[in-house]
Amino acid sequence: MHKRRVNELTLHLTIKPDGPMLIKSGQEAGADPTLPQMSFVRTYHPDYPGERTIYLPGSSLKGVVRSHCERIIRTLYPNDTHACCDPLSRDSCGTRHRSMTDTAAQYKAMCLACKIFGHMVNAGHLTTRDAYPTEPLDSSPALERRNNVAIDRLSGGVAVGPFDMEVALSGEFKTRLALVNFELWQVGLLALALRDLAEGRLPLGFAKSRGLGQVTATFEQLEIAYPGHFDMGDKTEVLYGVGALAPDLIADYGYVADDHITYSKPGTPVSGSAAWGRPAVAFTSHDAIMDVFQVAVAAWARFVPQEAHPHG
């Protein structure tokens, strides 16, 4: 549902390397001996015009979060493509529902992951921004070169190399995630993945199996807004999903009816937001945001998708 907007969740977070990390640029060093053969992706820093910096692409972060959410879904509903399709197979949601012209029926038929992240024929409800360091990082000591070789499995000797790569060892990368027209189970599922990111269990980038990419995250601010309303009501105490705000769409889209849950601790109303027809509630500490996520996880735990059959 993209023609109307009834709720919005915006999370500001900071990602920090907990060891060497490399998001490869995909460009070779060529004949320039000063460049590493595997270099970090770079762009111009939006807050420092003309200065180049390494950064974390939003697509990389979104891909890791989606993969982890799919892993959680398949753990609960193994081999059930109605719960989680294989986006690379011919039986994915993007292929299976391509001929549908009714977008409501298309959304209703999608697997859980595609309902959040989208597929080739239906846009997702989650957006991720590129993560930039607080100050431009383009050289040491934040960046370091490391030498590597590839081993021949038969001889035990060097098959390729030596070659060098560039890794980030420090820095704070700030980004923002936004989820619109959400159901509460979607917030709970994302919360599980984001908790694992915060606690260092969700590595990013190249060579994760070799120890690279370990990161931690801190949640800075969570804001939940309800466009089209002009009073705060009980929104500082209750989290509302799309099924509670648009009951006329429940049957067409398959939303959870009366989708709401009470916060463990009330949030802070955003000053003046109701007067603009967008009442919003904010949570401004990592612990407070984790409490909200824990409440949302309870909604995910109660949720049973259509045609899914949990095991164990």
Going by C-alpha positions, the residue among 194, 163, 286, 203 that lies closest to residue 19 is: 203
Residues in the chain predicted with pLDDT less than 50, given as ranges, are 31, 308-312
Instruction: Tell me what pLDDT residue 164 has.
Output: 81
H/E element, 302: helix 286-302
Instruction: Tell me what pLDDT residue 227 has.
Output: 97
Q: Number of C-alpha atoms within 13 angstroms, CB side, residue 303?
A: 27
At 220-240, the pLDDT tens digits run 999 999 999 999 999 999 999
Instruction: Tell me what pLDDT residue 86 has.
Output: 85
Angle value at C-alpha 278, between 277 and 282, nearest 5 degrees: 150
Instruction: Tell me what pLDDT residue 274 has.
Output: 96
Instruction: Tell me what pLDDT residue 160 has.
Output: 61
Write the DSSP assignment of 55-98 as a string of letters: -B-HHHHHHHHHHHHHHHHHHHSTT-TTTS--TTSTTSHHHHTT
Instruction: Tell me what pLDDT residue 294 has.
Output: 97
At 196-217, the pLDDT tens digits run 999 999 999 988 988 899 999 9
**124 token code pair:** 């997702």
Q: Tell me the β-bridge partners of 8.
A: 180, 225
At 87-134, the pLDDT tens digits run 777 778 867 767 777 888 888 889 999 999 998 878 899 999 999 999
Contact between residue 215 and residue 15 where contact means Cβ atoms under 8 Å apart? yes
Instruction: Tell me what pLDDT residue 157 has.
Output: 66
How far apart, in whole angstroms, are the C-alpha atoms of residue 276 and residue 112? 33
**Following CA atoms 46, 52, 57, 58 in sequence, which dihedral angle do they give, to the nearest 10 degrees?**
0
- Residue 142 CA, chain-centre distance (Å), reads 25
